[in-house]
Amino acid sequence: MQLSAIQLAQFHKDGYLVLRGFLDSYRCDEIVAVSQEHLEKKIEPIETEIGYIKRSKAYRTSVTDYTSYKEQDEKIIVRRLRQVYNRDSAFKAWMEDYKIRPVLRQILDDDVVLVTAHHNSIMTKMPYCSRETRWHQDRRYWRYSDNNLVSVWLALDQETGQNGVLEFIPGSHRMHFDSEQFDEKEYFSQECVKNQKIIASKVSTDLQKGDVVLFHSLLLHRANKNRSDKPKFSFVYTVKGAKTKALEGTRSAQFPEIVLPVVSFG
């Protein structure tokens, strides 16, 4: 598959692009089945809802130990399974999917490299007990030579406003912001007067099982709590261009990168 000129232009303008029905339903179900097993057993590394709130900016920027706080309470809520590339063949197969490689190469305008230091996760929003995800740029804790990084979000079932679908601010990856527009953890502040008109331009679109959203590492995005009766599972990983280098001595440079060979179609 390749993007049309219109689709490619849309991604560069808005900072995101939705690919409908990209992955077969049976493969989504396979990923969910493995995810549920790992979640039930709380197989590390994981991030809990408690850990998500407590982690400091310094931790998120530099610490390479992705295990949780190891709470012993059986009631802890897992927010995401981390480092999924090496967990199971179903996860690895999606991250190395042949069909999406030409699309990613078009967007990056470079050879495609899988990043395992960031994202590389099954994201969960459990009913009624998940927390909202505030406005942020993924790139804020990542340390690279430039911003040519794109996240690949796979909806493993229906995603709506009721269960925490992604919201985006179109074009925000091309905007320039002052430090005062972000809080101490570098979330885009909803209280800042300068931000309110920008936030008012937010958009979202419901997703179905197998839909994929590609979005730029600087695009502002967020998600609500899950207010439905059913868990929501999503798969997110990140790629970069081969010319984009992780800065030595940072967390971004401490995990393997996987170069994906070029795939051509007809």
Helix or strand or coil: residue 146?
coil
Cβ(207)–Cβ(157) below 8 Å: no
pLDDT in tens, 178-218: 999 998 888 899 999 999 999 999 999 999 999 999 999 99
pLDDT in tens, 79-135: 889 999 999 999 999 999 999 999 999 999 999 999 999 999 999 998 877 778 899
Fold exhibited by the domain 5-260: Jelly Rolls (2.60.120)
Taking each helix axis from N to C terminus, what angle separates 5-14 and 101-108, rounded to the nearest 10 degrees? Answer: 60
Give pLDDT, residue 35.
97
pLDDT in tens, 23-59: 999 999 999 999 999 999 889 998 876 655 556 556 6
* Domain regions of the chain by residue span: 5-260
pLDDT in tens, 138-181: 998 899 999 999 999 999 999 999 999 999 999 999 999 999 99
Element spanning 240, H or E:
strand 232-241
The residues near 230 (Cβ < 8 Å, ≥ 6 apart) are 127, 157, 163
Give pLDDT, residue 262.
86
Helix or strand or coil: residue 164?
coil
